[in-house]
């Protein structure tokens, strides 16, 4: 799966922009603030239905304009794929081969894995960053999971509001159990899917880390509800136990919305002990593992997007990464400096110079 042509209209700093992409390594080169990240963002947006930089879709509209549009022509095997995303204010319209799709359900036919400097938060950031990693992979693979996850979030918000109303004496406490009946089966699905994904992610990320540096990378799933032979029963029991505390705080204190990942290098938790270089390498390995997992599931290589990754890697890790990039599939990599790449690597590249 790949994108052959990309057109941008009033997107970020681009008024109009057209580029033809190569089927392999595409190097987006240019000075800082010239639009390299914006170009990569447009590809990721088409693929996943969301921006890696903002939760507000209207922010991608060029300053002074009222609407933006991203168009792409690509291929999935022998099948031609035309995609178009139109944004006007906070609303959007996403079409694939002329058929309307739900952008938020990630129904794009082109899977994508992206690494950006923001992904360094995977190690030292909040648990939400690590949950989003899992949910992003699972949602690309299985749109039903994305729907279940969205349903869980909706019920969770409603349950939290009910807790606050019960605590204020404005609602009967029995209504909380009605929300429990909706929350528990959805939570069970999320926990089971995440637990299975963490096993695959851990083994694959360890393999990827070994290609980039020495050491063993390990990822463990941390959940109040896993492992358990009866996730639904355990979930219900814990909700009952924490009900007084939940009423006092007005939030739900048990469930997959409080899950986390423990990321270790050898016997040491990376959040506490890893150097900046080790953190960056681990995050990169995790994103390469994501791409490998998507490849297994879709039986084709996803588009690999690497934003400003070379500047913080030493020479050995640059060469190891480029060996992976050049091994097949479409990749878009941004950089300010061609000197990070060997002559052989540059000879294999489709260079997009943004000035």
User: Tokens representing 197?
Assistant: 């994904």
The confidence score (pLDDT) of residue 77 equals 77
User: Three-state SS for 211?
Assistant: helix
DSSP string, 26-90: EEEE--TTSSHHHHHHHHHHHHHSS-SS-S-GGGGBPTT-SEEEEEEEEEETTEEEEEEEEEETT
The confidence score (pLDDT) of residue 211 equals 93
Rg, Å, the chain Cα set: 22
Sheet harboring 303-307: ordered strands across? 112-115, 303-307, 331-335, 25-29, 350-353
First to last CA, the chain: 28
Residue 214 confidence (pLDDT) above 80: yes
Residues 43 and 189 in one domain: no
Q: Which residues contact 214 (CB under 8 A, 6 or more apart)?
A: none
Distance CA 104, CA 123 (A): 26
Quickly tell me which residue has 């923001």 as its tokens.
118
The DSSP bridge partners found for residue 88 are 67, 91
**Number of domains making up the chain:** 2
Considering 299, 322, 337, which residue would you say is the last residue of a domain?
299
Cβ(22)–Cβ(350) below 8 Å: yes
Q: What's 38's domain CATH number?
A: 3.40.50.300
Angular region, 97: left φ>0, alpha ψ -120 to 50, beta rest = left
Distance CA 30, CA 36 (A): 7
Considering 253, 283, 299, which residue would you say is the last residue of a domain?
299
Q: Which residues contact 53 (CB under 8 A, 6 or more apart)?
A: 37, 41, 59, 118
Residue 122 binned pLDDT confidence (cut-offs 50, 70, 90)? very high
Evaluated on CA atoms 138, 139, 142, 144, the torsion sign reads positive
Residues 241 and 185 in one domain: yes
The confidence score (pLDDT) of residue 57 equals 87
Quickly tell me which residue has 């080790």 as its tokens.
278
- Phi/psi for 291 (5° steps) reads -60, -40
Residue ranges making up the domain that contains 23? 1-111+303-355
Mean per-residue pLDDT of the chain = 93
Q: Which residues contact 20 (CB under 8 A, 6 or more apart)?
A: 4, 5
Q: What's 191's domain CATH number?
A: 1.20.1050.90
Residue 106 confidence (pLDDT) above 60: no
Cβ(40)–Cβ(354) below 8 Å: no
Q: What is the pLDDT of residues 14-71, one digit of tens each?
A: 999 999 999 999 999 999 999 999 999 999 998 888 888 888 889 999 999 999 999 9
Residues 295 and 206 in one domain: yes
Residue 339 confidence (pLDDT) above 70: yes
Question: Where is average pLDDT lowest: 108-122, 164-178, 213-227, 274-288?
Answer: 108-122
Residues 39 and 130 in one domain: no
DSSP letter assigned to residue 144: H
Residue 120 binned pLDDT confidence (cut-offs 50, 70, 90)? confident
Evaluated on CA atoms 256, 257, 259, 261, the torsion sign reads positive
Residues 95 and 133 in one domain: no
User: Tokens representing 96?
Assistant: 């694939």
Q: Which residues of 59-98 are buried (b: 16+ CB within 10 A; e: fewer)?
A: ebbbeeeeebbbbbbbeeeeeebebbbebeeeebebebee
Considering 253, 282, 299, which residue would you say is the last residue of a domain?
299
**CB-hemisphere CA count at 13 Å for 139?**
23
Angular region, 255: left φ>0, alpha ψ -120 to 50, beta rest = left
DSSP string, 160-210: HHHHHHHHTTSS-THHHHHHHHHHHHHHHHHHHHHHHHHHHHHHHHHHHHH
Residue 234 binned pLDDT confidence (cut-offs 50, 70, 90)? very high
Residue 8 confidence (pLDDT) above 90: yes
Distance CA 355, CA 334 (A): 12
Residues 215 and 262 in one domain: yes
Residues 205 and 278 in one domain: yes
Residue 108 confidence (pLDDT) above 60: no
State yes or no: cis peptide before 227, omega within 30 of 0.
yes
Rank 135-149, 233-247, 310-324 by mean pLDDT and report only the highest.
Answer: 233-247
The confidence score (pLDDT) of residue 152 equals 98
Query: What number is the average pLDDT over the span 282-289?
Result: 96
Question: Where is average pLDDT lowest: 37-41, 87-91, 283-287?
Answer: 87-91
Question: Where is average pLDDT lowest: 2-6, 257-261, 302-306, 312-316?
Answer: 312-316
Distance CA 114, CA 267 (A): 28
Residues 146 and 238 in one domain: yes
């Amino acid at each position: 799966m790949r994108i052959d042509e990309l057109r941008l209209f009033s997107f970020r700093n681009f008024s109009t922009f057209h580029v033809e992409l190569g089927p392999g390594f595409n190097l987006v080169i240019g000075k800082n603030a010239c639009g390299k990240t914006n170009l990569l963002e447009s590809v990721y947006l088409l693929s996943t239905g969301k921006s890696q930089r903002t939760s507000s879709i209207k922010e991608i509209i060029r300053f002074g304009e009222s609407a933006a549009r991203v168009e792409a022509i690509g291929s999935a095997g022998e099948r031609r794929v035309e995609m178009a995303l139109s944004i006007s204010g906070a609303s959007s319209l996403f079409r694939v081969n002329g058929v309307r799709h739900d952008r938020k359900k990630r129904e794009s036919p082109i899977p994508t894995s992206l690494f950006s400097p923001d992904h360094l938060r995977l190690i030292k950031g909040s648990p939400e960053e690590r949950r989003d990693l899992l949910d992003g992979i699972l949602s690309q693979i299985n749109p039903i999971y994305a729907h279940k996850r969205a349903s869980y979030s909706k019920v969770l918000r409603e349950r939290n509001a009910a807790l606050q109303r019960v605590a204020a004496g404005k609602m009967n406490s029995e209504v909380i159990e009605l929300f429990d009946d909706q929350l528990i089966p959805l939570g069970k699905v999320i926990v089971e899917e995440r637990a299975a994904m963490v096993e695959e992610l851990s083994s694959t990320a360890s393999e990827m880390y070994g290609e980039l540096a020495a050491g063993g990378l390990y990822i463990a799933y941390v959940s109040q509800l896993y492992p358990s032979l009866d996730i639904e029963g355990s979930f219900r029991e814990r909700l009952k136990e924490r009900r007084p505390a939940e009423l006092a705080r007005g939030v739900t204190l048990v469930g997959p919305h409080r899950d986390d990942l423990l990321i270790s290098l050898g016997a040491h938790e990376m959040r506490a002990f890893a150097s900046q270089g080790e953190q960056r390498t681990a995050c990169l390995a995790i994103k390469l593992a994501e791409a490998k997992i998507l490849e297994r599931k879709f039986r084709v290589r996803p588009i690999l997007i690497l934003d400003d990754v070379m500047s913080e890697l030493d020479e050995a890790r640059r060469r190891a990464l480029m060996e992976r990039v050049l091994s097949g599939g479409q990749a878009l990599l941004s950089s300010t400096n061609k000197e990070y790449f060997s002559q052989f690597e540059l000879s294999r590249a489709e260079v997009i110079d943004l000035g």
